[in-house]
Structure 1
Amino acid sequence: MVPGRPDPRLDRGPLPLRGFPVTRVVGTRPREDLDRGTPAGGEGWFERWCGDAPAERLAAVRILSFGFALVYLLIRIPSVLAVARLESSRFVPAGPVAVLSHPLSRSSLLILLAVTVVALAGATLGFRWRLSGPVAAVGVLWLLSYRLSWGQVLHTENLLVLHLLILAASPAADALALDSRHRPAARANARGWVYGWVLQLMGLVTVLGYVVAGYAKLRNGGLDWLSGDVLRSHIALDNLRKALYEEPYSPLGGWLTRYGFLFAPMAWGAMVLELGGVLALWRGPLRRLWVWAMWSFHLAVLALMAIVFPYQLSGIAFASFSRPEKLLASGHRALAQATGRPDA
């Protein structure tokens, strides 16, 4: 600083007061800027691809995904605890459970269940998100992997776990959360690519799962898959095996195998849907069409093979492709009207 000249540091604008947090988050803009049509400026292809999503949208996906996981785990508790009665010789660790050399004790399993359930409830409500989110996601990963370490390894729960892990590492509790009550309103009302990239990443993981499944069909079945013969045989054998072991099976699927001409269109349709999932990575009518088509695909799998994909059939698996905050807002208004309370 030169004597007699003003300090150049004074021209930098006001500095935040010590002890008060900065309310702006990198990659976000206050909602008022968008309402006035203020351009973001300086956005690259990544920011444009991620989109300008509001914090409420990511928060709504958090509520739906972790809420689903909480209900799903509560329903699965008897199945998870049942493995404690099995012989240890049947224990073949899968996934992260591979670090174990022997099964968990029943008390350890109960503690893990209790911690995960509490963490899931906290993550759904957005309470202590930085702790509850990761603990809940890792707990679900561990428990479901532990359950699969005692028998047939299924893939019906993979997408749910991946979505939880992505959300747990994101700012998904900036809005619609108990934690957000203690934050500045500007942060809860912000929007930007910092929220959009999480939703796009969830969508990318969803799409890649279907693309890999479509590629595996072509690699293993070749052109026979497109003829429908492989699909027809697969449905017949799957239902026959379930019937022999007195498991739930699909009478409809077994009956339809009499009509071979139906399976070529089914095989082509499944292939187009799975490999064409990349179209859902860009917003527009094709994304909405693909989401509805994939939900119908899982409904057909249930009808023909009695295989349930709970997360996908609930529609929550595709929430990142839509605007679930509007659904929650509608539910809130309906609840307010039903209880006679004013809509806050």
Structure 2
Amino acid sequence: MTGWLTEAVPRGRVAAFRTLVYLFVAADLVVFTPWVRTRVDVPGDLYQPLLVGRLLPLPTPTSALVGVIFWLLLAVSLLAATGRAPRLLGWTVFALYFEWMIVAMSYGKVDHDRFGLLVALAVLPTAGRARHGDPTRTEAGGWALRVTQIAVICTYFLAAWAKFRFGGLDWATGSVLARAIIRRGTDLADVIAQVPHLLIVAQFGILAFELLSPLVFFLPERWRLAMVGFFYSFHLVTIATITISFAPHLVAMTSFLPLEKVRPIALLRRRRSPAPLGQLGEHPLAAADDDLGAAPLGQP
């Protein structure tokens, strides 16, 4: 079990995942959750902190407090994305984003798509230094990715458990998707809803998919990546039909992917750099001369 939890991965994969996660945190502040800053406009007695917020305890958010968290987290997350000071900046990002989420989720609605991302932020500082493209393997980085993967799958499996806990089989046979389509459905969802019994079949399929999600850990790598691809396709359909993105969860799920193979900056540099002298014979003009049967220098 210990060997599975700490299975070594290339440091380049850890570096790519870390950059992606911290860049998403910065984007989350300005694209997905800028509304958190408006929470301080409501009366303070409506703030009912989550259990962790009561245990610490954390102060009732004010305009000044939330403003400081926003700007400091934005700056630190961008710095952390560069890979510098991975422990210091990593723990700082986690602490600030954790407080940002407590403020966001302490007014009556808790989103479960943040769980995997929060776990990733908590474990990334333990992975240590890692450079993009570095093939050297690291067990610490492997542990960080594995724990994030477990959190991603727990999000699915525990969602199914919650459905059975609060709705039982009535969740699968009821009108859950129909209500979601009425509230926030797209034109595509309206077309799908007209197919008899399709929504009921889809609800049973969602339950089966969530309950069977832990199987991803028992598959060979090729089939594991295929199953992760199915996870992404499921969320693509969700976005296209009821406009729920699960963006933080999708970022955390990249912990399953060989991200070290995706190096856009290195590819761009190769394309923009001039060809080495040894490769001049591959120049199109040189190739044209060869095709024409050009004679060597000094010969007619």
Alignment of 1:70-109 (within 5 A): 70-76=26-32, 78-98=34-54, 99=56, 103-109=60-66
CA distance in 2 between counterparts of 1:310 and 1:303 reads 13
The code of the aligned residue for 2:222 comes to P
Asked if structure 2 preserves the Cα contact closer than 8 Å seen for 1:59 and 1:172, the reply is no
In structure 1, the partner of 2:289 is: none
Asked if structure 2 preserves the Cα contact closer than 8 Å seen for 1:203 and 1:281, the reply is no
Q: Does 1:129 align with 2:64?
A: no
How has the CA–CA distance of structure 1 residues 217 and 69 changed in structure 2, closer, same or farther, with 3 Å as cutoff?
same
CA distance in 1 between counterparts of 2:81 and 2:98 reads 16
CA distance in 2 between counterparts of 1:294 and 1:214 reads 15
Q: Deviations over 1:231-278 (max 9, x none)?
A: xx11222343x3xxxxx5434435533434213431232223212221
In structure 2, the partner of 1:193 is: 139
Alignment of 1:238-277 (within 5 A): 238-240=180-182, 242=183, 248-277=184-213
CA distance in 2 between counterparts of 1:254 and 1:236 reads 10
CA distance in 2 between counterparts of 1:201 and 1:342 reads 43
- The alpha carbon displacement at 1:55 in A equals 1.6
The code of the aligned residue for 2:217 comes to L
In structure 1, the partner of 2:124 is: 167
Q: Does 1:217 align with 2:173?
A: no
- The alpha carbon displacement at 1:339 in A equals 4.4
How has the CA–CA distance of structure 1 residues 77 and 302 changed in structure 2, closer, same or farther, with 3 Å as cutoff?
closer
Of residues 195, 211, 215 in structure 2, which corresponds to 1:279?
215
Bigger mean CA offset, 195-204 vs 213-222: 213-222
Q: Does 1:316 align with 2:251?
A: yes
Of residues 144, 148, 164 in structure 2, which corresponds to 1:202?
148
In structure 2, the partner of 1:66 is: 22
How has the CA–CA distance of structure 1 residues 50 and 273 changed in structure 2, closer, same or farther, with 3 Å as cutoff?
farther
CA distance in 2 between counterparts of 1:189 and 1:287 reads 21
CA distance in 1 between counterparts of 2:58 and 2:140 reads 41
Of residues 178, 200, 223 in structure 2, which corresponds to 1:236?
178
- The alpha carbon displacement at 1:338 in A equals 5.3
In structure 2, the partner of 1:335 is: 268
Classify the secondary structure of the residue corresponding to 1:140.
Answer: helix
Q: Deviations over 1:181-228 (max 9, x none)?
A: xxxxxxx65314332222211111111111111222334443444xx4
How has the CA–CA distance of structure 1 residues 95 and 304 changed in structure 2, closer, same or farther, with 3 Å as cutoff?
farther
Q: Deviations over 1:281-311 (max 9, x none)?
A: 2442331122111111112222332222113
The code of the aligned residue for 1:129 comes to P
Q: Does 1:113 align with 2:70?
A: yes
How has the CA–CA distance of structure 1 residues 95 and 74 changed in structure 2, closer, same or farther, with 3 Å as cutoff?
farther
In structure 1, the partner of 2:261 is: 326
The code of the aligned residue for 1:292 comes to G
Classify the secondary structure of the residue corresponding to 1:156.
Answer: helix
In structure 2, the partner of 1:52 is: 8
Q: CA RMSD in A?
A: 2.8
Q: Deviations over 1:49-100 (max 9, x none)?
A: 6433122211211111111112112325641221222222322212543355
Asked if structure 1 preserves the Cα contact closer than 8 Å seen for 2:11 and 2:135, the reply is yes
Residue ranges of structure 2 left out of the alignment (5+ in a row): 277-300
Alignment of 1:282-293 (within 5 A): 282=218, 283-293=220-230
How has the CA–CA distance of structure 1 residues 275 and 76 changed in structure 2, closer, same or farther, with 3 Å as cutoff?
closer
Bigger mean CA offset, 90-99 vs 61-70: 90-99
Q: Does 1:307 align with 2:249?
A: no
CA distance in 1 between counterparts of 2:110 and 2:101 reads 10
CA distance in 2 between counterparts of 1:160 and 1:250 reads 27
What percentage of aligned pairs have identical amino acids? 22
Asked if structure 1 preserves the Cα contact closer than 8 Å seen for 2:13 and 2:132, the reply is no
Bigger mean CA offset, 65-74 vs 281-290: 281-290
Q: Does 1:155 align with 2:112?
A: yes
The structure 1 segments of at least 4 consecutive aligned residues displaced by more than 6 Å after TM superposition are none
CA distance in 2 between counterparts of 1:342 and 1:205 reads 46
Asked if structure 1 preserves the Cα contact closer than 8 Å seen for 2:7 and 2:142, the reply is yes
Classify the secondary structure of the residue corresponding to 1:125.
Answer: coil
Is the helix fraction higher in 1 or 2? 2
Asked if structure 2 preserves the Cα contact closer than 8 Å seen for 1:156 and 1:309, the reply is yes
CA distance in 1 between counterparts of 2:271 and 2:22 reads 25
Classify the secondary structure of the residue corresponding to 2:130.
Answer: coil
